[in-house]
Amino acid sequence: MNDTSVLGQVALGYSPMIDRHRAVTASRLTVFPARPDALPDSGALLEAVAEVWPADGGRVSLNVVSESMLHELMRCAPAPNLMIEVPAFMACDPANSEALQAMHTQGCTLLIKGRPLTPLPRELLPCFAYSIVDLADERRDGQPPPGGATRTIPHIQSGVRTLADMELAFNRGAIAVLGWPIDDVSANHGKPGGRPELQFIVELINRVDREEPADRLEAVLKTDPTLAFRLMRYINSPAFGLSVEISSFRHAIMILGYQRLKRWLALLLASASKDPNMKPVMFAAVRRGLLMEELVRNSADADRRGEMFICGVFSLLDRLMGQALPELMSSIPVPDSVRAALIDESGPYHGYLELVRAIEAESVYDVRAAAESLMMGLPEINRAVLHALAAAKQLD
């Protein structure tokens, strides 16, 4: 990142915006000021965000949990792919009308967050593309509003944690949801025996762990051309950072070695499900792995970084495969430190996993607590978050 000073002034969280087809259409970046008495540099924040989501890149919704910082953002000129969430109390304040109308005129997508206590000024209605309604405040029942009122702004449901919540939100007319609908995923999943593509990758991971000859591994992979193509695509992605193109599985083993190759098989396993409801889980698993790795980028060797990556990816494997983690870990080879973090909630990697979960939960208090236990500073953590999100976009 060009300007790292702002990364010490904020705490970051992220979550996906998911449409009714279960596709992730945008990312939400939540920004908390690190100190209530300090005003972070909004311009520097926009520059940092633009490095992950450039103007011609994917969409990002900026959820700034600071009235003063949001006022500063209103004076900037956000890129067209950047959406700005405006709390309802600020949207209804006449003092902000001119700035909001100017942002709309400049092409900025505005979202009103929360239920207005007073009617939104009529001249501001066209300025807001969407409204965000938290699940806890939801009063819709799928029926038209009472008293002949009309709802003119499409709504997005936030605070979604389960598939049931997501289904209800879409049934009530939401065009998208914000959150991680993964808490009850495993209960809606069948047995892994019914998903041969996942068992195939598990078998390949075991073969790589045994360091079987390259020609034998390549022969196994050739029996599933689709997975072979996806693996080569991952390995040759910019996120991997290789200076030469990998042309075959045998070539991958020669260049990478067995241990580094296992991390990409782990990624393939976490993204191989064909169930639409698994898309948010796969989205989370990839980002968890990359963020775990980035958190120790400057303090660990390649082997430990690889283990951290696998720990993050496999932390959601129970939901992806419909089996308990202890059972899964008996069939998939993982280092002891990874096993301790995932099953026993202990060991050197557990604190980092807790930090990642806090970032996903967009909980500034939990982020601070986890950071203190790891003796990590906000600049280091935020830099890792943005690098991981940038790398994940290269894999999507």
Model confidence over 157-170: pLDDT tens digits?
Answer: 999 999 999 999 99
Averaged pLDDT, 119-146? 80
Helices 249-256 and 214-221, packing angle to 10 deg: 140
pTM of the predicted protein model: 0.88
For residues 364 and 368, what is the distance between their CA atoms, to the nearest angstrom?
6
CATH for the stretch 5-181: 3.20.20.450
Contacts of 304 (CB under 8 A, 6+ apart): 296
Partner residues linked to 131 by β-bridges: 112, 155
pLDDT of residue 263: 84
284-295 in b/e form (b: 16+ CB < 10 A) is bbbbbbbbbbbb
Residue in this structure with the two tokens 């890792």, named with its chain if needed: 384
Angle at 239 between CA 80 and CA 256, to 5 degrees: 175
The one-letter code for the residue type at 16 is: P
Mean pLDDT of 71-79: 84
Residue 96 clears pLDDT 50, i.e. is over it: yes
Number of helices (H) and strands (E), helices first, in the chain?
18, 8
β-pairing verdict for 10-19 and 176-179:
antiparallel
The reply to whether 5-181 and 188-395 are identical in fold is no
Question: Tens of pLDDT along 235-291?
Answer: 888 877 778 888 887 888 888 888 888 888 898 888 888 888 889 999 999 999 999
- Asked if the model's pLDDT at residue 194 lies above 50, the reply is no
Q: How far is the C-alpha of 230 from the C-alpha of 198, rounded, in Å?
A: 13
Query: Where is average pLDDT lowest: 71-75, 145-149, 256-260?
Result: 145-149
For β-strands 60-64 and 128-134, DSSP reports them as unpaired
pLDDT score, position 16: 95
Mean of the pLDDT values across residues 306-325?
Answer: 90
Q: How confident is the model at residue 78 (pLDDT cuts 50, 70, 90)?
A: confident
Contact partners, residue 196, CB within 8 Å, separation at least 6: none
Locate the domains of the chain by residue range. Answer: 5-181, 188-395
Tell me the CATH class for 188-395. mainly alpha
Contact (Cβ atoms closer than 8 angstroms) between residue 289 and residue 306: no
pLDDT number for residue 162: 93
- Quick one: average pLDDT of 313-336? 89
**How far is it, in rounded angstroms, from Cα 18 to Cα 92?**
27
Residue 379 has pLDDT above 90, yes or no: yes
Cβ atoms within 10 Å of 47's Cβ, excluding its own: 14
